Amino acid sequence: MRSLKRETLVALVTAVVISGIWLATTRLIQKPGSVVLAQNSSSAIPRRADGKPDFSGIWQANNGANWDLLTHSPRPMVGQPGVYSDVPVLAAPVVALGAIGWVPPDLGVVEGDEIPYQPWAAKRKQENLANWLDRDPEIGCFKPGVPRAMYMPYKFQIIQGTMKVLMVFEYAGAERTIHLDQVAPYPVDAYMGHAVGHWEGDTLVTDVSSFTSETWLDRSGDFHSDALHVVERYTPITRDAFRYEATIEDKNVFTRPWKISMPIYRRLEPNAQLMEFRCQEMAEETLLGHLRKNQLVKQWEGRTMRMEVTRKVPPGNAVYERHFSGNPPTRQ
């Protein structure tokens, strides 16, 4: 009798353990394309009193999109032909950086891994890439624009209210507001655009327009005109990640709308916070050093090389230009 009770107890415990394993396994299995796991259930997503997801927090992308939106292999930040014409090496401006001077490889974030440029714009993009160090607005600490601000290698903070969603970016102190109520359009174009949002279930959808043409989409020369129109979608995946999607349209530059998509992650340090990054001051010598009567930066000497710096003074009014745009002229 005692043996029978012991066998019954063992069988019962075994059944409970197997049931627990089966339940855990089935909850972790997801259908193709699904982003909902057991620990990612809707109950785990922070919500406001009105039931909408709460995106408040400090976030950061973790990918190579700011280097290049498309899939890319390692390449020099600034290169020149090496011993073999098809094998580049680091060019003089960055040669002292060694391995740090190379763009890290990564998969792309563009749907179909293709940006549908018009023929003239595809040539301009390659020209921008070849002249990246002269043209990228990020180097001069200009506001990054949208969507680029979302995947730069810097933290940003979301402060979510009932009718406004404020985003503050570490880079250049940039900020933007998503208006969930009715507001008048901006009277002028803006680096960060004008964003109006609404909810589609748990997804925050924004319509962003009124852009200046003076921003790029990455460090690879991908650009737009002031006809840029961006529709963003913010969808929570878990408590600590959301899916960011942006559909990009510009009739002056692209042949059709195209889309990027990526996860963005919460910074989980207990003391996570934005730090001051006053890059305007950091870029001052780069942008305006040629205007000094007495040159300040003349050379750098390391263990195996000495690099000489000679300033060029552009002719005419170009001497005062802080930024040479690789973008097309603004629409008339």
Mean pLDDT on 249-270: 97
Which residues on neighbouring strands pair with residue 258, listed in sequence order? 248
**pLDDT above 70 covers what percent of the chain?**
84
pLDDT for 186: 80
pLDDT higher than threshold 80 for residue 272: yes
Nearest to 307 by CA among 122, 140, 98, 94: 94
The candidate with the shortest Cα–Cα distance to 196, out of 215, 177, 212, 171, is 177
- Which pTM was predicted? 0.84
And the tokens for 289?
A: 């050093």
pLDDT at 1 over 80: no
Segment of 61-70, 177-186, 290-299, 316-325 carrying the highest mean pLDDT? 61-70
- Mean confidence (pLDDT) of the chain: 87
Q: What is the mean pLDDT of residues 15-27?
A: 41
For residue 238, CA distances in Å to 45, 263, 264 come to 6, 10, 11
Q: Which residue is associated with the tokens 């050379």?
A: 299
Residue ranges of the alpha helices (H) in the chain?
2-28, 119-130, 132-135, 279-282, 284-288
pLDDT at 316: 82
Q: How confident is the model at residue 322 (pLDDT cuts 50, 70, 90)?
A: low
pLDDT of 219 > 90? The answer is yes
Tokens of 138: 């990020």
Q: Are 70 and 108 in contact (CB under 8 A)?
A: yes
What does the pLDDT read at residue 326? 59
Give the distance, in angstroms, between the CA of residue 297 and the centroid of all CA atoms in the same chain: 32
Q: Which residue has the tokens 């909850």?
A: 27
Amino acid 319: pLDDT? 74
Chain Cα centroid distance, residue 46: 24
Is 90 exceeded by the pLDDT of residue 220?
A: yes
Is there a contact between 167 and 154 (Cβ–Cβ < 8 Å)? no
pLDDT at 324: 61
90-107 pLDDT, tens per residue?
999 999 999 999 999 999
